[in-house]
Every structure is written in C-alpha cells, then in structure tokens.
Structure 1
Amino acid sequence: MAQHAQTDLAAFAQPYQAKEGDALKRFPHAFLAFAAAACLSLTCSGCWDYRGLNQLTIVAGFALDEAPDGGYLLSLEIISASSDESDASATKLIQSEGETIADAVYNIGTQFYNNVYFGNTDVLILSRSLVEKNGLYNLVDPLLRDNGIRDNLVILISGEQTAYELLIPQENENTVISFDINNKILNSKKSVTVTRSKELYEIYGILSRQASDLALPVVRFNNPDEKKLVLDGLATFRGERLAGALREEQMQEYLLLVESLSGGGFVLREPGEASEESVITIAIRQSKPSLKYEYGGSGLTYTIEIEVVASAVEFNTEAFKIYRNTENDLQKLEKRLEESISASLENMISEYLEDCGGEKDPPDIFGFADAIYYKDPELWESVRDHWPELFRNARFDVSCRLIINDTGLIKRH
C-alpha cells in the first residue's frame, strides 16, 4: 500500500519536475533576449540627428530672384553670430546661384562649415519677374518636398524690383527683417487690415485643386529713402500665373466676404440734418460669412450672408442728432449699417470683375469655385471647363445681419 502511494506521488510530481527543467533550459535564451533589448534601447535614447547651435547656420528668411544667367539667385537672411561688437547688425545676407532651387541651396551650403538650418525660417519672398517667368508651382513644389523646410512657411511677393533687396540689413538697425515681416503678418490676422497670408501647404493645396485661385501678400518699402517695410494688399493669381492685384481700398470688403474676423472697423457716412455729413464708426467684434449657391438654367447664383457683432465707437455731432442712443435709434442704425455693408460688398465684387478688364479667365480669389468643388464634386467636374464664363456672369446676392452690442452708453447682451 505504501509502495503504491509512493509510485502515485512520483508520477504526480514528474510533470512539475519536467517543467522546472524546461524553465532552467530556457533561462539562457531569455537572458540573451533581455540583454539584446537593453543594448538596443541605448541607441534609441535621443534624437539621432541632433545638432548643437554651434553646428547650425540659422536661416530667418530667404528670397528667390532670377539670376543674371537665367538660373536662380538664392538670398538667405541668417542670424548673425558675430562676436565683433562693432558689428551692430543682427543678420547677414548670404547669396548663391544655381540652375535649380536645390542646386542654389547646395551651393550656398558650401560657404559654411556647418549645416544650413531652415527649421526656424518664417518667410520666403519671391520676385515678381521670377514668378511671371517660372510660374508659382515650380517654385513651391521643391520647397514642400524638402523635409528641412516648414510647411507653414509664409510666401510673399516683392513689390520692389527684386526680392533680395527687402532682406538687406539697414544701417544702424538691429532687427531680424524676416521675423519683423512675420510679426506684421501675424498681427494682421483676424482683423480688417491691408493683407492676408497663405502658408506653403495651403498654397500647394490650392494649386493642386485647380478650383479657386490664390491671392498672396505683397511687401515693399514705404519709400525709397526711409526703406521701412510695409504690407501692401494682395497679388492675385490665375492658376500659378500672376494676374493682377487687389487694391488696398478693396481689402476690407474682400476680407469680410472670405473669412471670419474679430477686429477692424467700418465707417458709415450719410447726409446729416444740416449741410454737415453724419459719420459713425463701428468696431467689428466678430463677423462670419456664409456662402450658398444655386445652379440651374438661369446660371449660377451665390447667396452670401455676413453676420456681424459690432460696437459703435464714434459719433460726430450730426450723427448724434440722428441716432440719439434710444432703443429705436439703435435698431434704425443697425438697419442702416446692414444696408450699407451689403451694398458695399456687392459693389466690391462688381468692381473687382471690372478691374479684371473683362478678362477671359478672371481669378476667383473668393473661394466661389471651392464651394462647388467640396460640396458637389460631380457638378464641379461638369462646369470646370467653362468655369471662367460662369464666374463672370454669376449673380451675387449679399446680405448682412448686424447687432450693435455696445454704444458706450447703452449695453445690450
């Protein structure tokens, strides 16, 4: 009986003894795998392409012009690291030429002992003559393919004869010109100002869609003597080709039509009770456009509605006689502003098409084609070939809904 029990106990323990032996046999393999993983992790502990600041030539911005021999002239505004106290300039302008943009970048790299770094580059300025000769797509494509260039790079058109002259450091000025231009662009966003910007990836997307057209900001000197940089309206494109310009006085209406705003102003002028003119200024706190379209036998009709929340910030004497800050006067003023803004926006579209001089192919910088492209791709494919004619002959109905929530005397929430 005891012998039988011992036999059963040995049989019962045998599988566990076998498992223990297998574990001991597998231990060297597990240890080797752990050691290999530990060694591999040592090679993945940081950035594989890390460079110190002393190994980089930092590019703040750059310009592209047509070289004298017909190639490309590349001009880099680099952050100056000079230890010479007599050198007050914050930047230096370095130039090179090449048959292609990539060739010019390579050639300029041979002028430095360290790497040319575009990771902090804010702006690119293109000369008008280069864009007219090569087209915009040929200038944008190599930039987007370069992993070292940010896809939110802002592209501007030079209002001067060349692009590089805008980046030449001025005497006794210690500013980074490209950063200054970018700050002007950033400050202009969301308010009714003189320009609007597009970033590299947005430009490439618009060119690739081949629906609505581009409008890029123009930068120039305020005058030949002072040479202060100013933003001056928009250069318009048809496809990748320069087509014209949007006048500065058209910018306010254009921006109200194409995007939401949270700043800027609007002036209402009308006859007063006496011979003096009534003038009221409102500050735009918030505006939002909405766009609808109908396409049928009568052609293409766009319905645009602008919602505006504003504050009345200035009344002259004649205006105060008409609108005395009562509730009824406030409603009357809102109605008058709605009519004035609607008429102003419709006139802007008409004047823009007239300024195109009856062109066969006027640039659509308003996004009207994109509205069809995104909502009804099949319809867009059917009208794509005769879109310019549709755009020229389209009907535009613009309306405005405006609320004044603050007059300084009466507050309505």
Structure 2
Amino acid sequence: MRGKAIFVGLSLLVVLTGCWDRKELDRVSLVTGLALEISEDDAFSLTIEAINASELNDQMSEGMTPTITYELQGLTMAELLKKMNMGITRELNFSHTRTLIVDEKVAKEGLSKFLHFLEKGGQFRNDFQIIVARGVKATDIITTTYPIEKVPSMKMYEQFTTIEENWGGYPQSALTDFVFALTSPGRHPVAAAVTIRGDPSKGHNVDDNRELDLNALIEYDGMAMFHKDRLVGFLSVEETRNYMWTQDLDQTTATAPCGELGYFALQVYNSHTKVTANYEKGVPNFTVRIIIEGDIHDNQCADGLDEISTYEKYQKLMKEQLEEKVKSTITLVQEKYGVDVFGFGEHLSKQQYKKFKELKDNWDEEFKRAKINVDATVYIRRDGMRTKSFIEQVDE
C-alpha cells in the first residue's frame, strides 16, 4: 500500500513541471513595434521599439523617453531579430508586438519573405497590424512621440481601434488577414497607411509633447493596395471608407447634400452588404447591395424633420450619394490599378465555382472588365436631434 502511494506521488510530480520557462520581468524587454526599411547597400534595416517600462509609471518616471529603439541591418528577419542583443541588454519578447511598419520601397519589392518568418515562428502573435508608411520613413513612425499614449505603436493600435468602432473607415490589416488575402485566388491584400503631419524630425523628442500644437503627429492616411505581396497604390481616407462599404461595414457616419449649400449626416448603426455574382455573355457581373439603418444626427437644411416627406427625400439623397461614391471607388481601382482588393473573385468562386476555376489564373484581367453595380437601400428610423431644427425656425 505504501509503495502504491509513493508511485502515485512520483507520477504526480511528472506533471508538476513548475515555471521552467519563466522569464523575470527585469530580464526581458517587451517589443511593441517593428519598422522595416531598405538600407543604402540594398540590405534590410529593422528597427525595434521596446518599452521603457519605468517611464510608463507616473510615480517612477524620470522624464526620459518611454520607448527605446534600436536598428540593425541584415539580409533576413531571423538574422536581424537574433542579432538585436548586440545593442540591447535584455532578451526581447515579441508577444506584445502591435505593429509592423513597412517602408514604401520595401512594400513595392514584396513582403512575403518577411511575413513568412513572422507567420511561421512562435515568437509573434498573428494579430499585429501591417501598416505602410506613406511618404515618410518607417522609423520616423515608431519614433514619433505622443503625450496621451506614450508608446507610438500602442498609440496607432488604439487609434485604429477607435476609427473602426466610431467611423468604420479602417481596413483590417492584421497578419492573418494579409496572409489569407495573399493566398486567395480571388482577392489581393490591403493594409492601412499612415503618415506624419508636421516635421518628422521634430517628433522624436519628448519635450515636443509639452507643446500645445504638436510639431509632428502620426495620422491615418487611407489604405495601401497590393498585387499579391507588392504595393501598387493607395486610396485616400474617404475612398477607403467607400471600399469598406463593400466589406460589410458595420457602423459609421455618412453625409449627403440636402440643398445647394447644406448637408445632413446620418449616424449608421446597422449595415449589411451582400454581393451577388454572375457570368453573362462572357463578362463577370456583380451587384453590391448595401442596406443601412440610421438616425439623422446633423442637418444644415431647413427641412422639417417632423414630416414624412423629409425622411423620404433624405433616404433618396443618401441612397444616390452612397451608390455614386462606392461605384466611383470601384471604378477607380478597376481602371487605374487593376487589382481585385474587394474580393469579387471570392464571391464568384462561392457562387459559380466552375466558372471561376476557368478564370482564376487570369482573374485580374477579368476584374478590370467586370460590370459592377451598386444598389443601396437606406432606412432613416428617427431624428437624433430636436424634432424642429432652429435652422427651420430661422428661415421661417
């Protein structure tokens, strides 16, 4: 009996491995952002952004920089990341990495060779955002400070989350989304784009955060479009929101003219997009059906919001505005860039697989000549303001 008890006890010890792989916090540096560029000798330059944890605590802060950056040049991501301790004392931990900022030149040459290591390795989570630095250096992005959110990569991550929740004009560009689109025969990848408003050279100093008007500010600047893994062009912020309507945008604020000099705004709280695909007379045909519900949140015209005719008028105006804007962005991408970033090929594959199988090897050419219609249905449920606008009363 005693032997059996000893055997059971020893067996339990096997599963009690303890914290064999633990790392003390004072022995690791949390990396929150990466910046990838091409150096002068055509090698690759990787800059890491690591948290200086003591500066994030108001009681321990000594007024120093909240992040530390370090740059190395090399030929592969694996080489660069393993060599970082040439200048960084602590072991690097990438579990909290939020952004990968890539230079335009790197993006134009292709991202697959870098993303393969990041996607395959176990050091990184697959939800970090891939972002293209538009018109500025990638290293300037992760070294531009901000007084409210002291870590640049965390600032961008929170900024994009807020944009997505409040305005809806942000394209999801996490590693998983990018790789999924990259391996899909009916869609090309997209990524968010950022730039710096002001002088990038003046954003590296924490003393700049004491200025009322910041000398440098990271701004969301639309969407980067890729052909496979190579950058081909950008959409503006407004065009990106038009693109998002085709991706089943959830909520946003939409504006349409209600008179010669005035506009009204609709707070959209429910939206659904459905794409129907067909192949007729040798041409791909698609219809993008958008249904939205919302409340009037702003009105610059003197129309009475207590009259049914006003709601009917505004529904028609918003429908026309939405159809025109979404259609114009689709046409722009078809004619200027010729890459199906909308996923129309995916819809054709799901609805007419045999036909898409015949076309998939030459899908971009088919996309360029596809006939795409946009049909919007708008429901204005109520007035989110006063029933009788003071503008209406003034005009009386």
Equivalent runs, 1:36-47 vs 2, <5 Å:
36-43=10-17, 46-47=18-19
Letter in 1 for 2:288: I
Among residues 66, 73, 82, which one is paired with 1:106 in the alignment? 82
- What is the CA–CA distance in structure 1 between the aligned matches of 2:184 and 2:240, rounded to whole Å? 25
Question: Which residue in the other structure is 1:395 paired with?
Answer: 371
Which shows bigger deviation, 100-109 or 307-316? 307-316
Post-superposition shift, 1:240? Answer: 1.0
Q: 1:99 to 1:329 in 2, by over 3 A?
A: closer
8 Å contact from structure 1 (residues 193, 251) kept in 2: no
Letter in 2 for 1:130: V
Which SS does the other structure have where 2:216 is aligned? coil
8 Å contact from structure 1 (residues 191, 262) kept in 2: yes
**Does residue 1:56 correspond to 2:25, yes or no?**
no
**If you compute each CA radius of gyration, which structure gives the higher value, 1 or 2?**
1
Q: Identical aligned pairs, as a percentage?
A: 18
Among residues 277, 284, 308, which one is paired with 1:300 in the alignment? 284
Identify unmatched segments of 5+ residues in structure 1: 1-26, 272-276, 357-361
Post-superposition shift, 1:245? Answer: 0.8
Among residues 241, 263, 277, which one is paired with 1:252 in the alignment? 241
8 Å contact from structure 2 (residues 33, 49) kept in 1: yes
**Does residue 1:233 correspond to 2:214, yes or no?**
no
Question: Which residue in the other structure is 2:197 paired with?
Answer: 222
Post-superposition shift, 1:148? Answer: 0.9
Question: Which residue in the other structure is 2:206 paired with?
Answer: none
- What is the CA–CA distance in structure 1 between the aligned matches of 2:370 and 2:123, rounded to whole Å? 43
Which SS does the other structure have where 1:320 is aligned? coil
What per-residue deviation string (whole Å, max 9, x for no partner) do you get for residues 45-89 of structure 1? Answer: x44322121121111111111133322211111111468965421
Among residues 76, 95, 106, which one is paired with 2:71 in the alignment? 95
What per-residue deviation string (whole Å, max 9, x for no partner) do you get for residues 105-157 of structure 1? Answer: 01103433431000111111011112223x12112111011101110011100
Q: 1:51 to 1:165 in 2, by over 3 A?
A: same
**Does residue 1:341 correspond to 2:322, yes or no?**
yes
- What is the CA–CA distance in structure 1 between the aligned matches of 2:286 and 2:185, rounded to whole Å? 20
Which shows bigger deviation, 372-381 or 96-105? 372-381
- What is the CA–CA distance in structure 1 between the aligned matches of 2:144 and 2:372, rounded to whole Å? 47
Question: Which residue in the other structure is 2:122 paired with?
Answer: 147
Among residues 68, 72, 97, which one is paired with 2:44 in the alignment? 72
- What is the CA–CA distance in structure 2 between the aligned matches of 1:298 and 1:191, rounded to whole Å? 41
CA RMSD between the two structures: 2.5
- What is the CA–CA distance in structure 2 between the aligned matches of 1:409 and 1:298, rounded to whole Å? 53
Identify unmatched segments of 5+ residues in structure 2: 203-214, 389-396
Which SS does the other structure have where 1:310 is aligned? strand
Equivalent runs, 1:11-410 vs 2, <5 Å:
27=1, 30-43=4-17, 46-81=18-53, 86-133=62-109, 135-170=110-145, 175-192=150-167, 195-224=170-199, 226-271=215-260, 277-316=261-300, 319-321=301-303, 323-356=304-337, 362-407=338-383, 408-409=385-386
Letter in 2 for 1:330: Y
What per-residue deviation string (whole Å, max 9, x for no partner) do you get for residues 194-230 of structure 1? Answer: 5423111111111122320112111111122621100
Which SS does the other structure have where 1:212 is aligned? coil
- What is the CA–CA distance in structure 2 between the aligned matches of 1:228 and 1:96, rounded to whole Å? 25
Q: 1:194 to 1:291 in 2, by over 3 A?
A: closer
8 Å contact from structure 2 (residues 149, 155) kept in 1: no
- What is the CA–CA distance in structure 1 between the aligned matches of 2:243 and 2:15, rounded to whole Å? 56
- What is the CA–CA distance in structure 2 between the aligned matches of 1:349 and 1:174, rounded to whole Å? 36
8 Å contact from structure 1 (residues 290, 305) kept in 2: yes
8 Å contact from structure 2 (residues 251, 270) kept in 1: yes
Which shows bigger deviation, 66-75 or 102-111? 66-75
What per-residue deviation string (whole Å, max 9, x for no partner) do you get for residues 276-323 of structure 1? Answer: x3422222222111111111324111111111111112222xx324x5
TM-score normalized with structure 1 length: 0.82
TM-score normalized with structure 2 length: 0.85
8 Å contact from structure 1 (residues 121, 150) kept in 2: yes
Post-superposition shift, 1:350? Answer: 2.0
- What is the CA–CA distance in structure 1 between the aligned matches of 2:327 and 2:341, rounded to whole Å? 15
